[in-house]
Amino acid sequence: MVQNGLYVIKKEFIDIITSLGGIYDVNFGDKRPVFCCFKDNKINGLYWAIPTSDLSHRTDTQKQRYNECMSKPKNDLRWAYYHIANTDKKALYKISSCFPITDKYIDHEYVTNNVHVIMKRSDDIKALNLKLRKILSFENRKNNYFPQRITDIKNYLIKELNDEKETA
C-alpha cells in the first residue's frame, strides 16, 4: 500500500470485522474506498485506514452533525470523528470508523481515469493524521470503544501476521 492512497477492501475483511463483533457500515458494501493514512510504526505490515464517503448524498441533518463535531474544541474527542476534504468534490473521512488493515485485505486501488487516487493536499493529510492519532490514543486507553472494535481487529491482524512469519 502507498501512504495516503485510496483502496477498496475485500468483502472478506468486512466479514472479519463482523465476526469479531464489530460493526462496519455496509451501505456501500465492499465498494467504498478507504484512505490508508499511514503504516503502523510498531507493527510491520499493519496500516491504518479511514473509510471515506461522498458528502453530496448526505442529509442536512448528517452534515450538521459532522460540522458540529468538527467545530468542537480539539480537546473534545468528537472533534476527531470526521474530516471534510476538498478534492474535486467534498469528501467525508469518517475517522472514528478507522481500522487497522494489511495488504492481504486490499482488493484493488481506487482509481479515477485509470489513475490510483492518492491524496496530495498536505493540509488534509496533516489534519487526518492528527485526528487519527487522537482516536487511536483514546482507543489504547479504552479498548474496543468504537463500534468496529479496533483493538480486536488489530489483535486479529497481529496474530495473522505473526502466523504468516512462522510459516514462511
% of the chain surpassing 70 pLDDT: 95
What pLDDT does 90 receive?
84
> With DSSP H G I counted as helix, E B as strand and the rest as coil, what are the percentages for the chain, rounded to 5?
40, 25, 35
Name the pLDDT band for 31 (thresholds 50, 70, 90).
low
pLDDT of residue 41: 86
Residue 131 to residue 124: CA distance in whole angstroms = 11
Per-residue model confidence (pLDDT) at position 105: 95
Q: What is the pLDDT of residues 101-140, one digit of tens each?
A: 999 999 999 988 999 989 999 999 999 999 999 999 999 9
pLDDT mean over 29-34: 66
First-to-final CA distance of the chain: 21
H helices within 71-147, ranges in order?
122-141
Q: Which residue has the cell 463535531?
A: 69
pLDDT, one tens digit per residue, over 71-98 is 999 999 999 999 999 766 788 999 999 9
Instruction: Using the structure block, give the residue that is written with the C-alpha cell 492528527.
Output: 130
Which pLDDT tens digit goes with each residue over 41-55? Answer: 899 999 999 998 888
Q: Give the pLDDT of residue 69.
A: 97
26 phi, psi to nearest 5 deg: -100, 20
Domain ranges of the chain: 5-167
Give the confidence band of 37 by pLDDT, cuts at 50, 70, 90: confident
Q: Which three cell numbers stand for residue 17?
A: 470485522
Looking from the CA of 126 toward its CB, the CA atoms found within 13 Å total: 3
pLDDT at 1: 87
User: What is the CATH class of 5-167?
Assistant: alpha beta
What is residue 142's predicted lDDT score, i.e. its pLDDT? 98
Rounded mean pLDDT of 54-68?
Answer: 92
Helix (H/G/I), strand (E/B), else coil: 161:
helix
Cβ(52)–Cβ(93) below 8 Å: yes
Q: Does residue 68 contact residue 87 with C-beta atoms inside 8 Å?
A: no
| Gyration radius from the chain CA atoms | 16
Helix (H, G, I), strand (E, B) or coil at 105: helix
Q: Over range 1-19, report the average pLDDT.
A: 92
